């Protein structure tokens, strides 16, 4: 059943509070990497939101950024473009000055750089994930953000992000938790057609880096692509083979819900949205060493194989309009994000299944951080410091916002029957 407002329960976590009545002020949100695949969705959503007055696309590719702005109906009145290099601290701080919130859509390698710039510019922060290890490093900035009276919400994309909030919804209704299992199912293009739904460097990292799982109360590294299983997603996604992948949800959920006795947590995905035939091509390149980061000598010049692969694969990302204009084919890029949480309540053994189904034009990877950035700018997220999504975001208002954008979350509860 769809999640309804009357199902919401109180929580001890940091969360959303109604905005106090105050004089209307100009709300400005900066989107770093706003010309990218997910950044452009966030820009579109922010520009369409009545509570946002100014959206700044801060990107190194200003030509592409301007094309994104031109595709957005509110582009001329709300959206501006500024050249920004996140590796140049002074210029980055200058871009962020005066912003009510920063939505970081650049590669996760630069998350710490951006957070430090936010501290100096005195602005709130959210991002789309740190691929486990970076997330852990980012959480160490908690005291600095708290002392500055600022709030950072980490891992607020589709995954991480939506699964964290799904897990929080179930956790609020359980006394104990045995496991949190996350499945990200993306309906692949037909045949061996290769398409990448998000940053190619991140997908390469997820392909080659050992996935972390939480098992029997401990963090354990597994082999890449381990843990294969067939999982049934809501139609039209259907049955997909999923495997373990390194992800930020596993870095935070076992810690957040440690007090409920959690013993297991993992994240699985179906070849990053590729068919098995298409993925076999990418896997072959990885096996041949093209994902390597160490330079090799090519006619007397040092060349990183990964740089060559990333450059060649750039032609296999969706066209500019694909994630900005409304799709004429809703079945394309359809995905469901599912979180299963098993635990107990009032002596009953229960399994919560929350599924968020979405398609092109409303992918929550860009919409979810837009919602978080708007809440940060409006003062709707209480508490200062650095928080994972499951701590900072109250589930019900978040799911309500997704539903307004055509992204519906459904929940089912199964009770175990035993003697």
Q: Where are the domains of the chain?
A: 5-157+364-407, 162-358
Are the CB atoms for 344 and 174 separated by under 8 Å? yes
> What is the spatial distance between Cα 3 and Cα 381, in angstroms, rounded to a whole number?
21
**pLDDT at 11 > cutoff 50:** no
**pLDDT at 331 > cutoff 90:** no
**pLDDT at 365 > cutoff 70:** yes
Q: Which of 219-223, 321-325, 412-416 has the lowest mean pLDDT?
A: 321-325
Specify the CATH number for 5-157+364-407; select among 1.10.1370.30, 3.40.50.720, 3.90.600.10, 2.40.110.20.
3.40.50.720
Confidence label for 332 from pLDDT (cuts 50, 70 and 90)? low
**pLDDT at 319 > cutoff 90:** no
Specify the pLDDT at position 6: 37
Q: What is the CA radius of gyration of the chain?
A: 21
Confidence label for 20 from pLDDT (cuts 50, 70 and 90)? very low
Exposed e or buried b per residue across 373-396, where buried means at least 16 C-beta atoms within 10 angstroms of its C-beta: bbbbbbebbeebbbbbbbbbbbbb
Within 10 A of 186 (CB to CB), how many other CB atoms are there?
A: 22
User: For 38-50, what is the mean pLDDT?
Assistant: 93
> What is the spatial distance between Cα 343 and Cα 171, in angstroms, rounded to a whole number?
8
* Residue 16: DSSP 8-state: B
E strand or H helix at 168: helix 162-171
How many distinct helices (H) and strands (E) make up the chain? 15, 18
Specify the pLDDT at position 320: 54
In terms of Cα–Cα distance, which of 1, 54, 47 is closest to 399? 1
Rounded alpha-carbon distances, angstroms, from residue 213 to 87, 132, 151, 251: 32, 10, 28, 9
> What is the spatial distance between Cα 274 and Cα 335, in angstroms, rounded to a whole number?
12
* Residue 211: DSSP 8-state: P
> What is the spatial distance between Cα 171 and Cα 13, in angstroms, rounded to a whole number?
11
Q: Which residue has the higher pLDDT, 291 or 30?
A: 30
- What phi and psi, each to the nearest 5 degrees, are found at residue 177? -130, 130
**pLDDT at 328 > cutoff 90:** no
- Percentage of the chain beyond pLDDT 90 is 68
Max distance between CA atoms of the chain, in angstroms, equals 73
Specify the pLDDT at position 4: 46
Q: Which of 16-25, 140-149, 332-341, 366-375 has the lowest mean pLDDT?
A: 16-25
Q: 162-171 and 249-256 are packed helices; what angle lies between their axes, rounded to 10 degrees?
A: 20
Terminus-to-terminus CA distance in the chain, angstroms?
A: 28
- What phi and psi, each to the nearest 5 degrees, are found at residue 344? -130, 150
User: For 318-329, what is the mean pLDDT?
Assistant: 52
Confidence label for 418 from pLDDT (cuts 50, 70 and 90)? low
Q: Which two tokens stand for residue 104?
A: 């970081």
Q: What is the CATH number of domain 162-358?
A: 3.30.360.10
* Residue 218: DSSP 8-state: E
Rounded alpha-carbon distances, angstroms, from residue 15 to 192, 255, 391, 392, 396: 44, 18, 7, 5, 11
């Amino acid at each position: 059943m769809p999640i309804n407002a009357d199902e919401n329960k109180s929580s001890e976590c940091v969360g959303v509070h109604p905005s106090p009545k105050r004089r209307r002020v100009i709300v400005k949100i900066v989107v770093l990497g706003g010309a990218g695949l997910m950044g452009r969705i966030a820009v579109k959503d922010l520009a369409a939101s009545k509570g946002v007055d100014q959206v700044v696309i801060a990107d190194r590719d200003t030509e592409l950024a301007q094309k994104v702005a031109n595709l957005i109906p509110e582009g001329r009145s709300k959206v501006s473009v500024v050249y920004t290099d996140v590796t140049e601290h002074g210029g980055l701080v200058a871009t962020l000055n005066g912003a009510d919130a920063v939505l970081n859509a650049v590669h996760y390698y630069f998350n710490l750089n951006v957070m430090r710039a936010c501290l100096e510019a005195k602005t709130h922060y959210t991002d789309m994930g740190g691929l486990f290890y970076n997330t852990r490093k980012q959480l160490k900035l908690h005291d600095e953000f708290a002392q500055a009276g600022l709030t950072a919400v980490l891992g607020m994309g589709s995954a991480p992000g939506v699964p964290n909030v799904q897990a929080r919804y179930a956790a609020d209704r359980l006394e104990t938790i045995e496991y949190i299992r996350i499945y990200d199912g993306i309906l692949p293009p037909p045949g061996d057609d290769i398409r990448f739904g998000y940053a190619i460097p991140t997908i390469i990292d997820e392909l080659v880096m050992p996935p972390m799982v939480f098992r029997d109360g401990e963090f354990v590294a597994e082999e890449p692509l381990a843990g294969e299983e067939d999982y049934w997603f809501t139609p039209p996604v259907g049955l997909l083979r999923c495997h373990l992948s390194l992800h930020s949800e596993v870095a935070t959920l076992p810690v957040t819900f440690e007090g409920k006795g959690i013993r297991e947590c993992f994240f699985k995905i179906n070849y990053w949205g590729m068919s098995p035939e298409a993925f076999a091509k990418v896997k072959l390149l990885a096996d041949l060493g093209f994902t390597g980061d160490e330079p090799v000598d090519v006619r007397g010049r040092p060349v990183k194989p990964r740089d060559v692969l990333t450059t060649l694969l750039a032609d296999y990302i969706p066209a500019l309009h694909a994630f900005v204009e409304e799709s004429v084919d809703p079945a394309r890029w359809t995905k469901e994000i599912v979180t299963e949480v098993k635990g107990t309540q009032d002596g009953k053994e229960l399994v919560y299944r929350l599924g968020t189904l979405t398609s092109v034009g409303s992918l929550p990877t860009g919409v979810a951080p837009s919602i978080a950035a708007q809440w940060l700018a409006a003062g709707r997220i209480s508490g200062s410091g650095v928080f994972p999504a499951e701590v900072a975001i109250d589930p019900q208002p978040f799911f309500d916002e997704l539903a307004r954008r055509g992204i519906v979350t459904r929940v089912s509860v199964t009770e175990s029957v035993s003697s």
